[in-house]
């Protein structure tokens, strides 16, 4: 079998490279078009001419990475994603774990995935729902953000008075603090589900009373 790269051309504003490939197997031959990421292609040191079967398999692998990266960018068009969740989303689209992880890492390198920035934005969205610090933290971890990103997001909320926000939520949902012990326990349980600590709930109740 003879494999030959017949053409190399830039596309997508230089972000991608398209290779023309001719594969001869005896009297039979076929042609293919393989699209790679320009930055990754530059690291391969591959030019026009004959290439080995091993090299061709590497090019096909890079083409699959390119497809995964493009799919990842399409996914990000609908909203931010952590690196971990991007891997899961790409795998759900049929890409292997190795390809999904490589593509996700590449998206991080290019800045399309910025976990700390995205986690801060997500924390701000959670804050608008009147969630407490604990629920915000749990939600960020659930979305796959790293420890560093979660810490950065929680640090951005340092100036937030969660006791006051808990009091605001109680006023919005219950208007007044119930006198009946059973109803009061329901209120407290509801605030715990929102992610507030016992001390924050206690202080919030004192603000209302």
pLDDT at 46 (0 to 100) = 80
Same structural domain, 66 and 128? no
81-104 pLDDT per residue, tens: 999 999 999 999 999 999 999 999
- CA 47 from centroid of its chain's CA atoms: 34
- Burial letters 50-82, b for 16+ CB under 10 A, else e: ebeeeebeebeebbbbbbbbbbbeebbeeebbb
- 152 Ramachandran zone, left/alpha/beta (phi>0; psi -120 to 50): alpha
Same structural domain, 30 and 73? yes
149-154 average pLDDT score:
95
CATH, residue 96 = 1.10.10.10
Last residue of a domain, one of 109, 144, 172: 109
Same structural domain, 99 and 15? yes
Give the DSSP H/E element, type plus range, for residue 127: helix 115-128
User: How many domains, the chain?
Assistant: 3
188-198 pLDDT per residue, tens: 999 999 999 99
- For the cut 80, the answer to whether the pLDDT of residue 26 exceeds it is no
Q: 67: domain range?
A: 2-109
pLDDT at 209 (0 to 100) = 67
Phi, psi dihedrals of residue 6, rounded to the nearest 5°: -95, -20
11-26 average pLDDT score:
87
DSSP 130: T
Instruction: With H, G, I as helix, E, B as strand and everything else as coil, classify residue 37.
Output: strand
134-145 pLDDT per residue, tens: 999 999 999 999
- For the chain, the average pLDDT equals 92
Same structural domain, 127 and 67? no
Same structural domain, 102 and 119? no
Asked if residues 24 and 40 have their Cβ atoms less than 8 Å apart, the reply is no
pLDDT at 149 (0 to 100) = 95
pLDDT at 49 (0 to 100) = 86
- For the cut 90, the answer to whether the pLDDT of residue 3 exceeds it is no
Same structural domain, 105 and 120? no
- For the cut 70, the answer to whether the pLDDT of residue 105 exceeds it is yes
27-66 pLDDT per residue, tens: 788 898 999 999 888 888 787 888 888 888 999 999 999 9
pTM for the predicted model, two decimal places: 0.78
């Amino acid at each position: 079998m003879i494999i030959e790269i017949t053409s190399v051309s830039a596309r997508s504003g230089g972000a991608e490279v398209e290779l023309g490939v001719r594969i001869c197997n005896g009297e039979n031959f076929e042609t293919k078009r393989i699209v790679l990421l320009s930055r990754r292609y530059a690291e391969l040191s591959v030019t026009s001419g004959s290439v080995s079967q091993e090299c061709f398999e590497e090019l096909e692998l890079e083409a699959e990475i390119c497809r995964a990266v493009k799919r990842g960018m399409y996914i990000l068009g609908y909203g931010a994603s952590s690196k971990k969740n991007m891997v899961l989303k790409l795998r759900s689209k049929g890409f292997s774990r190795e390809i999904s992880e490589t593509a996700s890492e590449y998206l991080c390198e290019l800045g399309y995935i910025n976990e700390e920035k995205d986690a801060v934005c997500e924390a701000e969205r959670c804050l608008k729902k009147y969630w407490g610090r604990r629920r915000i933290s749990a939600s960020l971890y659930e979305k796959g953000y790293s420890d560093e990103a979660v810490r950065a997001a929680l640090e951005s909320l340092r100036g937030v008075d969660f006791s006051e926000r808990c009091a605001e939520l109680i006023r919005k949902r219950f208007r007044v603090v119930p006198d009946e012990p059973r109803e009061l326990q329901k209120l407290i349980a509801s605030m715990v589900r929102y992610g507030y600590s016992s001390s924050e709930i206690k202080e919030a109740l004192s603000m209302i009373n």
